[in-house]
Copies of this chain bind each other. A is one copy, B any other.
C-alpha cells in the first residue's frame, strides 16, 4: 500500500468529490461546477479549497496536468489516484453498511 494512500484515507468529503469529478479531465473552476451538480447544489467549494487541494494532490501524484491552456489548467487523475479512489470507495461502502445496520437506532 502506497504511503500516499494512508495519507489520503479517510478522505474528506471535499477531496473525495474533487477526485470523483475527474472521471474526465477538468480545470479548477469546472470541478467546482461539477461538484455542485453532483451534490445538487449542496456543496460549493471555496476557491482556497480547490486550488490548494489541486496543488497538494499534484505534488502527491494523485492527479497530473493534462493540458495547460492560457487561462485554464486542466487536470486528470493518475493510476495512483484511481487506486486511492478504489480504497476510499471500499471504506465508504463499509460506512454505508454500518448506516443501514444502525440507522433504526437513531429514529
Question: Which A residues are closer than 8 A to B by beta carbons?
Answer: 10, 12-13, 16, 20, 23, 38-39, 42, 77, 82, 85-86, 89, 91-96, 98-99, 102-103, 105-107
Q: A86-B106, A106-B82 are in contact. Are A95 and B16 (CB under 8 A)?
A: yes
Contact A93 B99 (CB under 8 A): yes
Contact B94 A106 (CB under 8 A): no
Q: List 16 A-B contacts (CB under 8 A).
A: A10-B13, A12-B12, A13-B91, A13-B95, A16-B95, A20-B98, A38-B98, A82-B106, A82-B107, A85-B106, A86-B106, A89-B99, A89-B103, A89-B106, A92-B95, A92-B96
Instruction: Give the docked Cα–Cα distance between A107 and B96 (Å).
Output: 20
Task: Closest B residue to A89 by CB, please name it.
Answer: B99
List chain B residues, Cβ under 8 A from A96: 92-93, 95-96, 99
